[in-house]
């Protein structure tokens, strides 16, 4: 399996560079979850990092990636089927009925 040294920004992992396994397309996963064990033996805390472009890549080459800390966690995902009705209001937008 191929891996790439990927920098992490923000949160407890700020400034660290970890080797992240690449997928079939050659990109790292969109979200990276790091379980941190609880010192008292409770459930582990999960740190969530989101993949973002590192910056402009060289001409003709693919863009490199970095991970930014997401304190709110991973965004909620829902399956969308071709026959599913769309949401009445897209996430993050106000509805006209809200005033």
In a domain, 64, yes or no: yes
Query: Domain residues for 32?
Result: 3-69
Look at residue 96 and tell me if it is in a domain. Answer: no
Rounded to whole angstroms, how far apart are CA atoms 20 and 94? 37
pTM confidence score: 0.68
Q: How many domains does the chain have?
A: 1
- The tens-digit pLDDT sequence of the chain (99 residues) is 799 999 999 999 999 999 999 999 888 999 999 998 988 988 888 999 999 988 776 665 667 899 999 988 776 677 777 776 666 666 555 655 555
Question: Of 19, 27, 17, 24, whose CA–CA distance to 62 is shortest?
Answer: 27
* 10 φ/ψ angles, rounded to the nearest 5 degrees: 80, 160
- Give Rg (Cα) of the chain: 18
Residue 89: inside a domain, yes or no? no
């Amino acid at each position: 399996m191929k891996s790439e040294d990927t920098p992490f920004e923000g949160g407890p992992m700020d400034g660290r560079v970890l080797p992240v396994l690449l997928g079939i397309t050659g990109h790292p996963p969109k979200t990276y979850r790091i379980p941190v064990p609880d010192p008292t033996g409770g459930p582990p805390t999960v740190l969530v990092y989101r993949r973002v472009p590192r910056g402009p890549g060289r001409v003709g080459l693919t863009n490199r990636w970095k991970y930014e800390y997401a304190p709110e966690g991973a965004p909620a995902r829902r399956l969308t089927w071709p026959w599913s009705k769309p949401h009445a209001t897209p996430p993050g937008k106000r509805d006209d009925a809200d005033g």
